[in-house]
Structure 1
Amino acid sequence: MAVQKLYAGAKLRELRGRIGVTQKAFAQKLGISLPYLNQMENNHRPVSAGVVLALAQEYGLDVTELTTGDAERMVSDMREALADPVFSAPPPLADLRLAASNAPALARAFLALHQAYRQTHERLASLDEALGREDAALRPSPWEEVRDFFHYCDNYLDAIDRAAEHFACPQGQRRDVIAAARATLDRLGVDLRHAEAGPLRHFDSAKRVLHLARGASGPTQRFQLLHQIALLTQNDLLEATLDLAQFQTPEARGIAKIGLANYFAGAALMPYGPFLEVANTVRHDLERLADLFDASIEQVAHRLSTLQRPGAKGVPFFFVRVDQAGTITKRHSATRLQFARFGGACPLWNVHQAFETPGRFLRQLAETPDGIRYFCLSRDVSKPGGAYGAPVRRYAIGLGCEVGHADRLIYAEGLDLRGRFEPIGISCRICERPDCHQRSVPPLERRLSLDPDRRGTLPYQIAEGR
C-alpha cells in the first residue's frame, strides 16, 4: 500500500504566523534551509519526517494537526461536488489537494457555487412552488450552512467546551452536574417542573418556569436541562460565537444557537478532562461510559468524536447517525474518512445492518478506496415516545477509527486486525471500485464499457482508464 505524502503548507504558514517568526528564523529552528522551507510552505515538497519531529520538539506541536482539518474535508467535499454530472472531466486528486491546501478560500467559494447551483436546479424542478415566493432569492439552506460550520470547526469549539468543563468541574474536580444545574435554576428564580404532555423542553420566560417532559428518558431530560442552562448562563458566549461565524440568515443563526447549546450540554454532562481519562481507562466502552456519566450511548458516541482539544486529543473517531431510510442525520469525522454531503451512506457499511440486530454492537473491518483501513462499530438506538401508542424513533449510530487506534478500544478484543477488510466507499459517483455488487450509479471519473451480449452484476463494465 503506497504511503501518502504529507503536504501541509498552509498549516506550516499558520504555525509560523501564530508564533510570529520569519521564514529564516523558522527554518533555522527546524534545521533546514530557507529554500526548503519555502518549498514546503507552498506545497512544492512534502513535509519530511525530520521536520515533523522538529516541530514536535521545538514547538510542542501535536503532529496530528498536520494531517487533519479543513484540507482533507475540502478535498472530500470537492470530489463529491465534482461527481455531479454537470462536470465532464474532474481534475486529478492531486490538483484538488493542492487547491485545498494552497487556496482554501477558492475551494470554499467553489463549494458554495456548486451548492447554489444545486439549489437552483432543485427550484427549477419544482418551478410551480418557487414562482410567486417572496423569499425566492438564492441562498444556502440554513440547515446545510450550520452543518458545514460544525464540519469545518472539527466539531470542537474550545471556548464553549472549556466553559462547560468549568461548570461541571469548577475547582478542577467533577461535581454532580445535575444538582449544580438545579441550584443554578434556583439562583435564577426558575421553577423546574415535569410535564405529562407537551414538548421535551419548554421554558416560559414570563413565568420563569422550565417544563421537562416526564416521559422522556433520564439522559434526555438531563441533556435538555443542561441545554437550558447554556441558554440562561452562557448567552454572551453563544452570541459571540455566532457573531464570528457570520451566518447569512437569521434562520441559520437560530439553528446554530441550538447546536451550540447542545454542544455545551454534552460537554457539561461529559466534561472534557474527566471524560477523556475515564474513556481511556475503560477502553472506550460505550455502555460503561453511559453508566458512569448518566448519558445515553448515542450521547457518549457523539462526545467521543469531539475530543480534539489541541494538546490533549483523544482517539480520532468518526461518528454518524442514520435513519431507517439510510439518510445521514448526524455526521462528524476527526479521521480521514469523510461522509457524503448529499444522499446516504455506503450500503456495504455495517451501520445499516444494525437495524437487523437490535441491542447488539456490530464490528467491522473496512477499507476505503484510498487504501485507509478502519475499525467500525455500529448499533441501533431507539427513542421511545414515553407512552403507549406513541411513535418510537429508530436510528443506527456508527463510531469508528483508523485501524491503528483499534487496540485502544475494548470492542477490538478477539478480532484479527490483520483479517479481511470489507470494501466500503463514500458515494457511488466518486467510488472507483469496478466490481461492487451494491453500486447504484457509475463512477464519474471512469469510462464505461458496454457489451449487449454480456451481463454481469452490473449492466456495464467499468474500464481501467479514465
Structure 2
Amino acid sequence: MATQKLYAGVKLREIRSRLSLTQKAFAEKLGVSLPYLNQMENNHRPVSAAVVLALAQEFGLDVTELTVGESERLVTDMREALADPVFTASAPPLADLRLAASNAPALARAFLDLHRAYRQSHERLASLDEALGREDTGLRPSPWEEVRDFFHYCDNYIDAVDRAAEHFASSAGPKRDVLKLAEDLLHRKGISLHYAELPGLRHYDPETRRLTISSRAQDGTRRFQLLFQLALLTQNELIEATLDLARFSTPEARDIAKIGLANYFAGAALLPYRAFLEAARETRHDLARLADRFGASIEQVAHRLSTLQRPGAKGIPFFFVRVDQAGTITKRHSATRLQFARFGGACPLWNVHQAFETPGKFLRQFVETPDGVRYLNIACEVSKPAEAFLAPVRRYAIGLGCEVQHAAELVYSDGLDPRGRFEPIGISCRICERAHCHQRSVPPLERRLRINPHDRNLLPYEIAQ
C-alpha cells in the first residue's frame, strides 16, 4: 500500500505563529528555502520527512500533531454530508475533499453547518404538526450537535481544564484520595454533603448549600458526581473563560457545554493525566486493572484513554465509541484516522454490537477500514444498574481501539495473530466503498448501481466498480 503524502500547511502556519517566527526564520531553522516553506504552508508541496525530523529536533514537536486532527475529521464529515440524496451529482473526489479540508477548513466547516441546517429544516418539514402555529420555528443549530462538534474538533482534550484537574488531584498526596480531598474542600466552603436515596444521582441546593448524592449509585459514580459538583463550585471562572472562547451560538449550547466541561474536570481529576498515563503503560492498558486502581468504571477508563492527547506527552491514539442496543452511537471520539458517522449507527460488523450477547467479557477483533488502515478493537458491555426493584437497567456497549502498530502495547493483543483475519468494516453504509458486504443496509450514494432482474446475489443490485 502506497504511503499517503502529508499535507499540513495549516498546521505548519499554526506552529510558526505559536513560535512567533517569520517565514524566513522558520525556514532557516527547518533547513529549507523560503519558497519551499511557502509552498508547504500553502499545501502546494507535502511536508517532507526532513522537515518532520527538524520539527521534532528543533522545537520538540510531537509530530503526530501533523497527521491526525481536524483535517481528517472534516474529510470524513464532508464525505458523509455529500452522501445525502440532495446531492444528485457525483461526489467530489477524495483528493478534492482533502485539499478543501487542508487549505480552507473554515469553508469546509461552513459547508457542514449549511448541510446540518438543511437537515434540520427537512426534519421539521416532516413533522409539520409540531411546527404549525408556533412563533419560534426559526432555524437554529442543534445545541447538542454544536457542543458535540466542539469537543470533537478539540481532540476531546481541553488543556487548561485538564491541567487544573491534575493540579487539584496532585494536592491529594501520594495516596491520591481525591474523594476525601473533595469532601474537605466542600466542608471548608460551608457545603454539607449527604448520601441518601434520590430519584436521580445528585442534587445541590444553592440556598441551603446542601449537596446530596445517591447512596444507591456505584462508588465510581459517587466519586464522579462529587467531583462534578466541585468543578462547578471551584472552577467556574476557568470554565466560563473556556466557554467565552468557544463562542457558542445559543445559551442552550453554552449551558450544555458547561456541563460537559464540568464532566471533563471530574474525569480528569479522578484519572489525573500523568499518573493515569504512567499506570496505563505499566498495566499495558488493562481496563479492569486501571478501573480498580483509580476507583473508576470501565467506561470512564476507556473514555479517558481516548483523551490522552496532551502535546509533548501523548498516549496511544485511541478511538472510543459507545452504542445503545439499537446500535445508535451515543458517545464517539477518535484520536486515530478512523472517524465515526455523525448520523446513524456504527458498522454492524464491529464486535461492539456482539458485546451485548456476552456481558462481563472483553471481545477482541482485528478490523480494517476501506482506506486500508488496520486496528485492534476491544468491546465490552456496560450496564447502568437499576436503582430499585423493577426500575429499568440501561445497557450500552463500548468499543476502544488503536492502530495495529500499537497493538503489542495492549494486554488484549496477547494470543492474537496480527497476520490473521481482519474484519472489513466501514464507517457508514452510505459512504462505505465495499461492494460485496453481506451486511450492507443501503447502497453507497457515491457509486452507480446496476440492476439485473434475472440475477440475485447477496444484494438486489450490483455496485459498479
Provide, for residues 262-318 of structure 1, a one-character-per-residue CA deviation record: whole Å limited to 9, x for no partner.
Answer: 000000000001000011000000000000000000000001001000000001000
Structure 1 residues 29 and 414, CA, compared in 2 at 3 Å: closer, same or farther? same
- Counterpart in 1 of 2:162? 161
Preserved contact between residue 198 and residue 213 of structure 2 (Cα < 8 Å): no
Matched, 1:90 2:91: yes
Structure 2 counterparts to residues 65-464 of structure 1, below 5 A: 65-88=65-88, 89-170=90-171, 173=174, 175-464=176-465
Q: CA deviation at 1:198?
A: 2.0
> Aligned partners of 1:393 and 1:4: how far apart in 2?
42
CA distance in 2, matches of 1:366, 1:167: 39
Amino acid at match of 2:43: N
- One-letter code of the match for 1:34? L
Letter in 2 for 1:286: L
Note the C-alpha offset of 1:385.
1.8
- Residues 317-352 of structure 1, C-alpha deviation per residue, up to 9 Å, x if partnerless? 000100000010001000010000000000011100
Residue identity matched to 2:157: Y
Q: Distance in 2 between matches of 1:177 and 1:189?
A: 18
Partner amino acid, structure 2, of 1:268: A
Hey, what's the Cα distance between the residues in 2 that align with 1:171 and 1:265?
A: 14
Take 1:213 and 1:135, find their aligned partners in 2: how far apart are those partners?
A: 37
CA distance in structure 1 between the partners assigned to 2:308 and 2:237 by the alignment: 24
**Displacement over 2 Å in runs of 4+:** 170-175
Counterpart position of 2:17: 17
CA–CA distance in structure 2, aligned partners of residues 204 and 47 of structure 1: 55
- Taking only aligned residues, the RMSD between alpha carbons, in angstroms, comes to 1.0
- Partner of 2:353, secondary structure, is helix
**TM-score if structure 2 supplies the norm length?**
0.98
Q: Which runs of 5+ in 1 are unaligned?
A: none
Equivalent residue, structure 2, for 1:61: 61
How far, CA to CA, are the matches of 1:238 and 1:305 in structure 2? 21
CA contact (8 A) 1:215 1:385 kept: no
Instruction: Give the 3-state SS of the residue equivalent to 1:425 in structure 2.
Output: coil
- In 1, Cα distance between equivalents of 2:411 and 2:346: 25
Q: Is the 8 A contact 1:361 1:377 kept in 2?
A: yes
Query: Per-residue CA shift, 1:201-246, capped at 9, x if unaligned?
Result: 0001111110111111111111000000000100111111111111
The answer as to whether partners of 1:166 and 1:172 remain within 8 angstroms in 2 is: no
Q: Please report how far the alpha carbon of residue 172 of structure 1 lies from its aligned counterpart in structure 2 after TM superposition.
A: 7.8
Which residue identity is paired with 1:99?
A
Cα distance in 1 for residues equivalent to 2:332 and 2:174: 31
Residues 172, 181 of structure 2: 8 Å contact kept = no
8 Å contact 1:168–1:174 — kept in the other structure? no
TM-score normalized by structure 1? 0.98
Question: Counterpart amino acid of 1:11?
Answer: K
Contact 2:382 2:396 in 1 (8 A): yes
2:339 is aligned with what amino acid? Answer: Q
Aligned length: 464
Letter in 1 for 2:77: D
| 1:425 shift after superposition | 0.3
**Change over 3 Å in CA distance of 1:46–1:265 after alignment to 2:** same
Whether the 8 Å contact between 1:448 and 1:463 is mirrored in structure 2 is yes
> C-alpha distance in 2, partners of 1:58/1:84?
45
Note the C-alpha offset of 1:174: 5.9
Please give the alpha-carbon distance, in whole angstroms, between the structure 2 residues aligned to 1:212 and 1:20.
49
Instruction: For residue 153 of structure 1, report the CA deviation from its aligned partner.
Output: 0.7
SS in 2 for 1:181: helix
Note if contact 1:174-1:274 (Cα within 8 Å) is conserved in structure 2.
Answer: no
Find the aligned partners of 1:316 and 1:78 in 2 and give their Cα distance.
Answer: 23
Percent sequence identity over aligned pairs:
76
CA distance in 1, matches of 2:44, 2:421: 37
Q: Secondary structure at 1:150's aligned position in 2?
A: helix
**8 A contact 1:338–1:426 mirrored in 2:** yes
Shift of 1:154: 0.5
Shift of 1:175: 2.7
SS of equivalent to 1:335: coil
Alignment of 1:17-36 (within 5 A): 17-36=17-36
Q: Go from structure 1 to structure 2 and tell me whether the alpha carbon gap of 1:9 and 1:172 turns closer, same or farther (over 3 Å shift).
A: farther
Contact 1:195 1:214 in 2 (8 A): yes
